[in-house]
Structures are given as C-alpha cells and as structure tokens.
Amino acid sequence: MKQREDSPELTPVRYDHTAHGSSTPGVQLTAEATAKMIVIGASTGGTEAIRKVIEKFPETTPGTIIVQHMPGSFTKMFSERLNQLCPMEVKEAEHGDRIRNGLILIAPGGKQLEVIRSDGFYEVRLGGTEKISGHCPSVDVMMHSVAKYVGANAVAAILTGMGQDGAEGMLAMRQAGARCISQDEASSVVFGMPRVAYEKGGAERLVPLDNVATSLLNLLA
C-alpha cells in the first residue's frame, strides 16, 4: 500500500516472515515480490512524458524502473513530485532496493543503475559514475542488466529524448524475449532515442504517448 501524504517517511522495506499473522517463511516476501517488471528510459522532454505514463499505472502494477537523464540534484525532487501524483509509490532508487509490486524506482543522477537477481528476487545495484552511451545514469546500462537477469519477464519503453541511449540495451532485451515499444514521433519532444531504438530493432512498434501506459500493461499479460 502506498504511503499516505501525511504518513511518516517510508524506509526501505525489511521483511518479517512472521508478520501479518503468518508463521510461514517467505509468505510476506513472496506476496510483495515482483515477477514481471517494467523499465522506461527517457531524456529531453521525458519528465512530463514519464508523468503522463506512470500516473495511469494502477497501484498494483509490477515493479517499475526508470532512467531519466537528469543531474543528481534533481532526481530526488523529481521522484518526490511523482510520488504525490501517482497511484504507485515513487522513490529515488537506493543501492540494494528490492523491486516489488506497486513501487517505481527512479535512477539517481550521476550513478549507473543495474538490476540483478539475488536470492530469487530482483534488486537495484548502483555503481560507477562513468558515462556510458554519453550518460550517467544510462538507459543502456539499465536495459542490458534487465536483459541478462529478467529477460522475457520484462517490458520496456523508450520515451522522448535526444541521442541513442537505450537503443542497444533495448535490442538486448528484445533478443532476451522482452516486449518493447518506443514513443512515436508526433508525441515526442525529441524523436531521437525512440527512433534509433525502433530502427535498430529493439522497439517492436511506435506508440503515441497517451497510449504508452496501456500498451505496457497489455504487454505484461
């Protein structure tokens, strides 16, 4: 359940296997773990595009990871703003965060984000500060890790943005069995990243921004 605006600030989840009246190890852990995953990459014009997409996600949507090209001083504020507008909980990702249903994690500016599988669950790893594909965080870095550890259990979208970050990573995801789309030219502020992802074969089709959320949720099925 998403934190209420007037509730104490949430801390990273620490699972108590005996909580909620259950004495069976792993019951609560399994209930909140995500089996499917949504990943989104964006750059120029992406802050509003991301908002328009994720505000349509129901509270029970599978765990979602987002890379938006943005300095580190802004990603926390961006996450907090989205948390007030969206049914899902939104927070800036921290090293070791477990990816779970109902949670959106925004990659912090200035750090590379990867998804790994640990003890049967997906977690975030924050690493170096070197720019990859011209950016830190890089959509390519995130998507290559998702291709490796999540494969066909992931769906992805590349939204408006300049350049080609994410094109190679999305192609790797597609080759691993994931379903992938890009935002179309008419609704993009800059049709760079979505275009290259589509032309390289990572994105299956181009989708108007207003339809991206529905398309991703349908692909999860």
What span, in angstroms and rounded, lies between the C-alpha atoms of 188 and 157?
A: 13
The answer to whether the CB of 53 falls within 8 A of the CB of 40 is yes
Distances in whole angstroms, Cα of residue 146 to Cα of each of 41, 67, 166, 171, 219: 12, 13, 12, 11, 16
Domain boundaries, the chain: 36-220
Fold of 36-220: Rossmann fold (3.40.50)
**Catalytic annotation on 43?**
yes
Question: Per-residue pLDDT tens for 127-152?
Answer: 989 999 999 999 999 999 999 999 99
Residue position matching structure tokens 């990572």:
202
* pLDDT for residue 121 is more than 70: yes
Tell which wins on pLDDT, 213 or 118. 213
pLDDT value at 4 more than 50: no
User: pLDDT tens digits, residue range 167-199?
Assistant: 999 999 999 999 999 999 999 999 999 999 999
How many percent of the chain have pLDDT more than 90? Answer: 81
Instruction: Choose, from 97, 135, 138, 165, the residue flagged as catalytic.
Output: 165
CA pair distance 95, 43, nearest whole angstrom: 22
Q: Is 215 a catalytic residue?
A: no
**What phi and psi values does residue 68 have, to the nearest 5 degrees?**
-120, 125
pLDDT in tens, 53-79: 999 999 999 999 999 999 988 999 999
Reply yes or no on whether 135 is catalytic: no
